[in-house]
C-alpha cells in the first residue's frame, strides 16, 4: 500500500440524532422527518463550523437505498439543497451497501489527493423507518446477492450473521460465545447513554446483563442463533464532516489540533456472488485493516480507539480477531474480559456503535469518522475517553454486506 502523496484532514463533524425505537421522539404512528431534514441538518451543522458553503469545493453523498426507502434517486442533487452556496458545485453519490458512507469519505479523500478540491463536504444518511421491520429487512437484503436472497431467511442479514454465530458456537462453544455477545451489548448501551444523539441514549434499564439473559433465542420468531439484542438498529440519521487539504484547513480557519489527519486506508472488495470463505472469520475486514495499518506505518498496539462495524454482536467479536487483538476463537473471551470497554485495552465504539448509537446504513461510515474526530480532538463530551499521548491514533472499519465491501481508515490527532 502506497503512502498518501498529500496530507488529508477531516474536521467539523456533525451528527443528527439517530431516530428509531428507543428514542422518545419516535412514534411510528406519527409523521416523521424526511431525508431532506436530515441531510440539511447535518450539512448545515458542518458548514457552520467551516465558514459556510463558499469554502466548499465539492460535495460527496453516501447512501444505500433511498430509491427504495424514500423513492428518491439522483441524490447528488440534494447537496445544493443544504445551502444555496453549494449550487453549481460538483457532487457525487457513492453506494456500497452499509459501507456507502465510508465510500463517500474515500471519494472526498481522493479528490483532495488528486488536488481537484481542497474542501469536500461529505454527508452520509439513511431514513429507513418508512417501512415495517420485515420489509426493511427485505430492502437491506440488497446488500447481498439476489440469487441467494431468493432462498434466504425472511430476515436475510440477521439470518446470514446467525449462521456465522452458529458456526462460532459449534467450533468454540455456545455459552462461552454468548458471554462475549452479552458484554458487547452491555458496552454498546452504556456507551450510547453518554451520547445525546445515540438511539439508546435514553435507555434506563438498570441490569443489562439480566435483560440480555432474559431474551432467549427463538428461531421460530426471529433467527436461530441471535436475539434482537445482538442486532443493530433500524435508524434514521445523517452525519457530515469536511475533508480538507492543508490549504483547505487554512481556508476554513480550523487549526490542525482541531482536525484529524488521515494517514492510511484500506479499501477491499469480496465477490458478492460467493459465500464467505470461512463463517468464523471476517476475511475482508482482516485484509482491509492490514492494508490500512501498513499504509499508516503503525500497528494495532498504537491505536487508542476503534469504531468497528458491529451490525451484529458476532461481527464485533470477529473483528477483534481479524485485527489481531485476539487469536482465532478467543475474541469472545477478549470482549468478555472487558478489553473493548471504554476503559479497556482498546476501547471500541465509544458512542455505542451500530447496536447502541444506531445504524442508518448509508450514513454509518461518516458517523464513525465523526466519532473518531471527536475522540482524537477531545470533543466527545461525556463520551470522551483518554487518548494517550503515545497513541494518538484511531481507526474506523465500515463493512457493506456480509464482509463484502470494507473500508478501513487510520486517523491521527492533528
Task: Per-residue pLDDT tens, the chain, 414 aa: give them.
Answer: 567 889 999 999 999 999 999 999 999 999 999 999 999 999 999 999 999 999 999 999 999 999 999 999 999 999 999 999 999 999 999 999 999 999 999 999 999 999 999 999 999 999 999 998 889 988 999 999 988 877 778 888 999 999 999 999 999 999 999 999 999 999 999 999 999 999 999 999 999 999 999 999 999 999 999 999 999 999 999 999 999 999 999 999 999 999 999 999 999 999 999 999 999 999 999 999 999 999 999 999 999 999 999 999 999 999 999 999 999 999 999 999 999 999 999 999 999 999 999 999 999 999 999 999 999 999 999 999 999 999 999 999 999 999 999 999 999 998
3-state secondary structure the chain: CCCCCCCEEEEEEEECCCECCCCCCCCCCCCCCCHHHHHHHHHHHHHCCCCCHHHCCEEEEECCCHHHHCCCCCHHHHHHHHCHHHCCCCEEEECECECHHHHHHHHHHHHHHCCCCCEEEEEEEEECCCCCHHHHHHHHHHHCCHHHHCCCCCCHHHHHHHHHHHHHHHHHCHHHHHHHHHHHHHHHHHHHCCCCCCCCCCCCCCCHHHHHHHCCCCCCCCCCCCCHHHECCCCEEEEEEEEECHHHHHHHCCCHHHCEEEEEEEEEECCCCCCCCCCCCCHHHHHHHHHHHHHHCCCHHHEEEEECCCCEHHHHHHHHHHHCCCCCCCHHHHHHCCCCCCCCCCCECCCCHHHHCCCCHHHHHHHHHHHHHHHHHCCCHHHCCCCCCCCCEEEEEEEECCCCEEEEEEEEEC
Tally of domains in the chain: 1
- Residues 122, 365: Cα–Cα separation, whole Å: 11
Instruction: CATH number of the domain at 166, please.
Output: 3.40.47.10
Taking the alpha carbons of 145, 147, 152, 154 in that order, is the dihedral positive or negative? positive
Cell (9 digits) for 71: 423513492
- Residues 121, 64: Cα–Cα separation, whole Å: 18
Annotation marks residue 311 as catalytic:
no
**Total residues found in the chain within this entry:** 414
Q: Which residues contact 258 (CB under 8 A, 6 or more apart)?
A: 11, 377, 414
Q: One of 98, 195, 244, 311 is an active-site residue; which one? A: 98
The three-point CA angle 22-25-28 to 5° equals 75
- Residues 339, 139: Cα–Cα separation, whole Å: 35
* pLDDT for position 112: 98
- Residues 223, 330: Cα–Cα separation, whole Å: 24
Taking the alpha carbons of 71, 65, 46, 380 in that order, is the dihedral positive or negative? positive
Annotation marks residue 359 as catalytic:
yes
Nearest to 129 by CA among 48, 212, 235: 235
pTM, rounded to two decimals: 0.97
- Residues 372, 412: Cα–Cα separation, whole Å: 9
Q: One of 91, 231, 309, 359 is an active-site residue; which one? A: 359
Which range marks the domain in which residue 217 is found? 1-414
Q: Which residues contact 363 (CB under 8 A, 6 or more apart)?
A: 62, 63, 101, 123, 124, 125, 126, 237, 238, 239
Amino acid at each position: 500500500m502506497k503512502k498518501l502523496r498529500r496530507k488529508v484532514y477531516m474536521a467539523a463533524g456533525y451528527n443528527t440524532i439517530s431516530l428509531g425505537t428507543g428514542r422518545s421522539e419516535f412514534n411510528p404512528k406519527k409523521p416523521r422527518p424526511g431525508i431532506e431534514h436530515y441531510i440539511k441538518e447535518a450539512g448545515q451543522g458542518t458548514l457552520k463550523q467551516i465558514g459556510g458553503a463558499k469554502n466548499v469545493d465539492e460535495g460527496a453523498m453516501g447512501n444505500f437505498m433511498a430509491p427504495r426507502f424514500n423513492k428518491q434517486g439522483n441524490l447528488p442533487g440534494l447537496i445544493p439543497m443544504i445551502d444555496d452556496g453549494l449550487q453549481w458545485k460538483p457532487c457525487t453519490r457513492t453506494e456500497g451497501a452499509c459501507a456507502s458512507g465510508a465510500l463517500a469519505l474515500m471519494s472526498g479523500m481522493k479528490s483532495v489527493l488528486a488536488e481537484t478540491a481542497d474542501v469536500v463536504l461529505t454527508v452520509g444518511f439513511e431514513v429507513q423507518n418508512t417501512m415495517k421491520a420485515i420489509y426493511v429487512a427485505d430492502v437491506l437484503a440488497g446488500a447481498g446477492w439476489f440469487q441467494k436472497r431468493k432462498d434466504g431467511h425472511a430476515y436475510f442479514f440477521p439470518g446470514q450473521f446467525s449462521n456465522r454465530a452458529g458456526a462460532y458456537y459449534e467450533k468454540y462453544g455456545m455459552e462461552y460465545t454468548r458471554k462475549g455477545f452479552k458484554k458487547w451489548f452491555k458496552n454498546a448501551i452504556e456507551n450510547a447513554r453518554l451520547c445525546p444523539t445515540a438511539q439508546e441514549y435514553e435507555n434506563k434499564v438498570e441490569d443489562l446483563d439480566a435483560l440480555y439473559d432474559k431474551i432467549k433465542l427463538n428461531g421460530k420468531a426471529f433467527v436461530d442463533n441471535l436475539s434482537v439484542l445482538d442486532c443493530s438498529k433500524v435508524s434514521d440519521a445523517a452525519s457530515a464532516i469536511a475533508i480538507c487539504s492543508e490549504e483547505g484547513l487554512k481556508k476554513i480557519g480550523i487549526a490542525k489540533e482541531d482536525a484529524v489527519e488521515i494517514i492510511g486506508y484500506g479499501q477491499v472488495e469480496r465477490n458478492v456472488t460467493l459465500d464467505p470463505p470461512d463463517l468464523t472469520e471476517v476475511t475482508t475486514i482482516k485484509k482491509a485493516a492490514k492494508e490500512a495499518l501498513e499504509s499508516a506505518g503503525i500497528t494495532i498496539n498504537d491505536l487508542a480507539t476503534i469504531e468497528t462495524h458491529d451490525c451484529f454482536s458476532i461481527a464485533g467479536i470477529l473483528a477483534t480477531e481479524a485485527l489481531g487483538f485476539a487469536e482465532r476463537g478467543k475474541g469472545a473471551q477478549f470482549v468478555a474480559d472487558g478489553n473493548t470497554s471504554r476503559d479497556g485495552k482498546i476501547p471500541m465504539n465509544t458512542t455505542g456503535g451500530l447496536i447502541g448509537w444506531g445504524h442508518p446504513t448509508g450514513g454509518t461510515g461518516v458517523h464513525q469518522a465523526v466519532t473518531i474526530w471527536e475522540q482524537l480532538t477531545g470533543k466527545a463530551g461525556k463520551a470522551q475517553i483518554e487518548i494517550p499521548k503515545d497513541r494518538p491514533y484511531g481507526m474506523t472499519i465500515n463493512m457493506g454486506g456480509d464482509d463484502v465491501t470494507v473500508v478501513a481508515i487510520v486517523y491521527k490527532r492533528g
